[in-house]
Structure 1
Amino acid sequence: MLKVTFLGTGGSLPTTNRNPSAIMLNREGELIMFDCGEGAQQQMMRAKTGMMNLSSIFITHFHADHILGIPGLVQTMSFQGRTEPLTIYGPEWVEEFVKILSAIGYYKLKFEIKAVKLKSGTSVKRDGYSVIALKTDHNIPSIGFALVEDERPGRFDRDKAIALGVPVGPLFSKLHHGGSVEVDGNIISAEDVVGEPRPGRTVVYSGDTRPCLDVLEASVGADLLIHDSTLADDMLDWAKEAMHSTAGEAAALAKKAGVKKLVLTHISSRYSDDATLLLNDAKAIFEDVVIAEDLLVIEVPFCDV
């Protein structure tokens, strides 16, 4: 399972229907977050994502709309009895932020919060996947993230294994995971019955940025690209000044990278009533695109060729 829940999809200011930036990823039961804007914990409750299995929060930058949900969230987890450490990853200033966070409120947290500073190209290795920091182009130090799963074993040819005399049972698993087995004096290797390794899934989150090379390169062939789309194309000059992207620019990057699906987020409050203009700008360039809405859930499937 790889499920993405959009807890907050708005720009700098919350609106009646959009919270600030916050995205929850559930990968095989492990929860990680990309940014954690104001109100994130209530959105978790509404979406029923859970929070106690949250292992890490990856922060793209330290503008308030991307971090103000963290103080309330950590206090709630502490009240609920959390004792496992929580790691907050981010660019420059993450250590200072965690020191301030740990001092907020009279109530002392029952668990440790660790700060890890990332720079572009740094890879955080986890069980079955990595999160890679990407250089982005915003008006303060910022990074984006690519969650990249490890390769999976190729397809197991059950019929061929049986034809070679391998009995149905645990030897199948051993072969599928790269081992060799002996049957009636014959050695059968994984290469005899297992196809080429298959790619895992890739989810890229740009954070706030102008279109940039690192996000483009990380997005090549990605299953899901979540990209800054603060403004419509008719406000390109403002997007450049504020160091954000337009919907059309996000779509052009998605098309160039050959992503499978594009989600536009960080939607300016000027489109709070109707974001159709953004969608139209993007669809003129790239077809498989949606505007993120708060509490939107996207399941990212395996795409085997």
Structure 2
Amino acid sequence: MSSRELVVLGTSSAVPTRHRNHNGYLLRWDGQGFLFDPGEGTQRQMVHAGLSAHDVHWVCVTHFHGDHCLGIPGIVQRIARDRVTHPVRAVFPASGEKYWRRLRHAAAFADTRIISEHPISGDLAGVGPIIARRLSHPVESYGYRVQEPAGRRMVPEKLAAHGIRGPEVGELQRTGSVRGVTLEECSVPKPGQSMAFVMDTRLCDTVFELASGVDLLVIESTFLSSEQALAKEYGHLTAFEAGLVAADAGVRRLVLTHFSERYGFGDEPAFVAEVRRHYDGEVVLARDLMTIPVPRRQVHNPAK
């Protein structure tokens, strides 16, 4: 099983349907669980997906429209009830803090102290491994990006050419040089893996910036282009625009979600067709309870 994968808990937009729950996405990333936009019913969807409250380390809310946050009370109370002991960090727009507090304390329960709050503001913010950028929506909304730092990968042929072997390899990685040979002489750049999460927004520069070069882009495509005017009025993207972003940003795997209730599974080919007008990479039309791996980084390994 991949240590970096997205578990899809819900894929509808404002109104859940018989086949699509409200939003909800849990990103597994090296033992950390990032729960994005838990909409109504997320706690039950987690049960169906084989997840528990102990899998949640972060709760990241893009904005406080109901389909992106009404699951918070159940998640918080489940974390408390199941006596989760590790820290859980909640990230959300500072302008919606009053809504967070109402949801956080929506009912009587035995509370927990392990949840810390990290309200964000401004055009650019960061909390731990998360980068947040302000989007364009009728209420303040943020997109998120999880980014692994860039590193370097050792090249066996280069190590052998310099006579570096055994414990010296580890020393080279730790210190950057061994016997006058530098790390750069024996390795190649290794870009860090990345994932971006873009929900309710009009097309804007920050969408492209969040998506730039990511391995996995999870992006709303609420409407088809026939509803372009409606999408712009309500601050949403079309499938056509999602494809434009993916192509321009060089995305490796594109995941469409947050579908209007007016569309059924039979409309999926139309979403793909709109994306294909710009983007020829891998496209996944998300369905509830899917698991989608983050593509592995492939680094060219020249032997010189």
Give per-residue Cα distances to partners, 1:167-198, cap 9 Å, x unaligned: 42x332221344334xxxx4443234223x31
For structure 2, the 5+ residue unaligned runs are none
Give per-residue Cα distances to partners, 1:13-35, cap 9 Å, x unaligned: 11111111111111111101121
What's the offset of the Cα at 1:94? 4.2
Matches within 5 A, 1:1-305: 1-119=3-121, 120-125=123-128, 130-153=129-152, 155-168=153-166, 170-181=167-178, 186-195=179-188, 197-276=189-268, 277-288=270-281, 289-300=283-294, 301-305=296-300
Confirm or deny: 8 A CA contact 1:121 1:132 kept in the other structure: yes
What's the offset of the Cα at 1:244? 0.8
Runs (4+) of structure 1 moved beyond 4 Å? none
Q: Partner of 2:94: helix, strand, or coil?
A: coil
Q: Partner of 2:18: helix, strand, or coil?
A: coil
Confirm or deny: 8 A CA contact 2:196 2:218 kept in the other structure: yes
Letter in 2 for 1:247: A
Greater shift in the superposed pair: 73-82 or 104-113:
104-113
* Percent of aligned pairs with the same amino acid: 33
Instruction: Give distance in 1, aligned partners of 2:238 and 2:185.
Output: 50
Q: How many residues align?
A: 294
Instruction: Give distance in 2, aligned partners of 1:89 and 1:268.
Output: 26
Letter in 2 for 1:293: R
Confirm or deny: 8 A CA contact 1:204 1:215 kept in the other structure: no
Confirm or deny: 8 A CA contact 2:5 2:28 kept in the other structure: yes
Instruction: Give distance in 1, aligned partners of 2:221 and 2:184.
Output: 46
Q: 1:167 to 1:216 in 2, by over 3 A?
A: closer
Instruction: Give distance in 2, aligned partners of 1:117 and 1:2.
Output: 26
For structure 1, the 5+ residue unaligned runs are none
Q: Partner of 1:31: helix, strand, or coil?
A: strand
Q: 1:218 to 1:178 in 2, by over 3 A?
A: farther
Q: 1:33 to 1:122 in 2, by over 3 A?
A: same
Q: Could you state the TM-score of these two structures normalised by the residue count of structure 1?
A: 0.89
Letter in 2 for 1:286: Y
Q: 1:257 to 1:179 in 2, by over 3 A?
A: closer
What's the offset of the Cα at 1:273? 4.2
